[in-house]
Amino acid sequence: MKHVTSPTLHVGIIMDGNGRWAKAQGLARISGHTQGARRVTDIVRACPDLGISHLTLFAFSTENWQRPVSEVEGLMRIFQQYIQRKMAGLRKHGVRVRFIGMRHRVPQNLRDLMEELEAQTRDCRGLNLTIAIDYGSRDEMARAAQEIAGRVVSGEISPADIDESMMDRSLDTRELPDPDFIIRTSGELRLSNFLLWQSVYSEYSFPKISWPDFTVEDLRREVADFAGRNRRFGAVTPAGLDTSPLTARG
């Protein structure tokens, strides 16, 4: 596992519930995605104030290609518009943007914009914003295994050299600390292929709020809740300092 020395706070958000939000308003699913993309701007801007150094947003999974073509195309268009509209502002606010995921299946025009945004914000030293598009944790791990196997075959390394830190360095997230806190909106209680390797000691929250309704205040409350948790990483805390929530039958 990665041991980070500088104080970082990495929050991952599985932005879920756009479709149900739209349905509840009597709107088409795509309107939920449009509204969801609007929420991103506020949330990104609030991060430094909340002490968040890294924000990773799950925007589109490797499984989401199974959705109707019209919804997939709509989402790709929304991502494209988001980048076009926000590129200058993100740079101005010092936000360094990275994308994780497969990329080659993403339409060329969007891929070009993703690369441009990464290049434009490469020197930014404020918030580290990572957007997961065509991202699946299993795919990411399989690609890492392929890369490592190639190095073994070429004789550069031997199988015994493969350890956790080599895996860390072979994943799309190689430049990021592990996520401290993962929030999934909409009340679903699963990860749906998000950061499986990286989240072994993450804290979780599953607020019953659809992503288009998730506000900066909600994020503030979530981060405050996270700050009160007692993370042990498999070790023990000194007696008397343990503020574990275990009470009943404990």
Q: How far apart are CA 6 and CA 95, in angstroms?
A: 18
Asked if 120 is part of the footprint of ligand IPE (rule: CB under 6 A), the reply reads no
Decide: helix, strand or coil at residue 203. Answer: strand
How many residues bind ligand IPE (CB under 6 A)? The answer is 17
Q: What residue spans of 54-134 are helical by DSSP H?
A: 69-92, 108-120
Question: Cα 194 to the chain's mean position, in Å?
Answer: 7
Asked if 16 is part of the footprint of Mg ion (rule: CB under 5 A), the reply reads yes
Scanning 8-16, 61-69, 103-111, 210-218 for contacts with Mg ion by CB under 5 A, the matching segment is: 8-16
Q: How far apart are CA 218 and CA 241, in angstroms?
A: 28
Active-site annotation holds for 16: yes
Q: Which of 58, 79, 181, 226 binds ligand IPE (CB under 6 A)?
A: 58
Scanning 13-21, 49-57, 62-70, 142-150 for contacts with Mg ion by CB under 5 A, the matching segment is: 13-21
Asked if 130 is part of the footprint of ligand IPE (rule: CB under 6 A), the reply reads no
Scanning 60-68, 107-115, 161-169, 242-250 for contacts with ligand IPE by CB under 6 A, the matching segment is: 60-68
Closest CA to 53 of 208, 237, 204, 178: 178
Closest CA to 90 of 67, 119, 124: 124
Q: Could you give the angle at which helices 69-92 and 29-46 cross, rounded to 10 degrees?
A: 20
Asked if 20 is part of the footprint of ligand IPE (rule: CB under 6 A), the reply reads yes
Sign of the C-alpha dihedral computed for residues 196, 211, 113 and 68 taken in this order: positive
- Of 148 and 181, the one with the shorter C-beta distance to ligand IPE is 181
Which is catalytic among the residues 18, 42, 49, 64?
A: 64
CB under 5 to 8 A by kind: which of ligand IPE, Mg ion, none does 231 bind? none
Phi/psi for 55 (5° steps) reads: -125, 125
Positions marked catalytic: 16, 64
Binding site for Mg ion (CB under 5 A): 16
Summarize as ranges the residues that interact with ligand IPE (CB under 6 A): 14-20, 58-61, 64, 75, 186, 188, 190, 192
